[in-house]
Amino acid sequence: MKILLDAGHYGKYNQSPVNPQYYESEVMWRLQGLLQAELLSYGAIVDTTRSDINQNPTVYNRGRMAEGYDLFISLHSNASSSPKTDRVDIYCPIDNRNGSQEFGKTLAQGIADLMGVSYGQTKTKQGVKGEYYGVLRGAMDAHCPMYFLIEHSFHTNEYATNWLLNQQNLAMLAMLEADIIAQKYGLEKPFIKGDVNGNGKLDPRDYILAKRIYFGTYTPTEDELRRCDINGDGKVTARDYLLIKRAVLGSEEIREKRE
């Protein structure tokens, strides 16, 4: 599975008229990084159209980079003359290739529900050369089988900008979008004993989460419990979280059989 992500703008671009701390370019750049990390944890190959926020290839050329990829997503927030506008718009291929409208609607509704905005919808926009938006026209000309431009609500809406400026919210948004994409394409995260949070690697967060599960201050999901239960006895013991700690520190490997 090959995915190409495109943070919509470069530098400090599209400052919100209602929230001077918000720049569309900066927030979507952060979201791109979080979404890339989430998708990588599912084993996908995930690239970006730019390696630096200050790079500025043309929108058409960014879309054209989608040649050979299974999915192309350009990340944006929208603008409106009304500060009350707060929906999520996803622009889909004008030819509805590979059922893109249905998939886009699932994404749009999920994002809207998470952000707490009015609703999510899919749209298309035709231009004289096919797709109206240059970035989507490039993806079309690259024969990418699925491509979207996602407008994460409106940066002319103060609530939406405050929500998107919250890094924890952005992380949840990346997780949601990655999960919906994974379900669509049948992607699954590799199962690794000790990787409690399921991000595909052992790190200090796994030990902290295992310790909280052992002491009863956190109720794990079924998958978290399986990853944390090193010896497979159906419960999390002090030995389980200590083994995870030692594995994170590199002083001991987890030798129990992985599933």
Residues 194 and 180 occupy one common structural domain: no
Give the global pTM: 0.81
| Separation between Cα atoms, residue 84 and residue 88, nearest integer Å | 13
Q: Which domain holds residue 90?
A: 2-185
The percent of residues above 70 in pLDDT, for the chain, comes to 97
**Res 258 pLDDT > 60:** no
Give the total number of structural domains in the chain: 2
Residues 132 and 150 occupy one common structural domain: yes
pLDDT attached to residue 203: 87
Residues 132 and 206 occupy one common structural domain: no
pLDDT, tens only, 158-216: 999 999 999 999 999 999 999 999 999 999 887 788 899 887 788 888 989 999 999 99
Residues 62 and 175 occupy one common structural domain: yes
| Separation between Cα atoms, residue 24 and residue 168, nearest integer Å | 17
Residues 196 and 75 occupy one common structural domain: no
pLDDT, tens only, 17-73: 999 999 999 999 999 999 999 999 899 999 999 999 999 999 999 999 999 999 999
Residue 151, domain CATH: 3.40.630.40
pLDDT, tens only, 219-239: 988 888 888 888 888 888 888
Residues 177 and 63 occupy one common structural domain: yes
Residues 172 and 209 occupy one common structural domain: no
Residues 122 and 231 occupy one common structural domain: no
pLDDT attached to residue 255: 54
Residues 82 and 133 occupy one common structural domain: yes
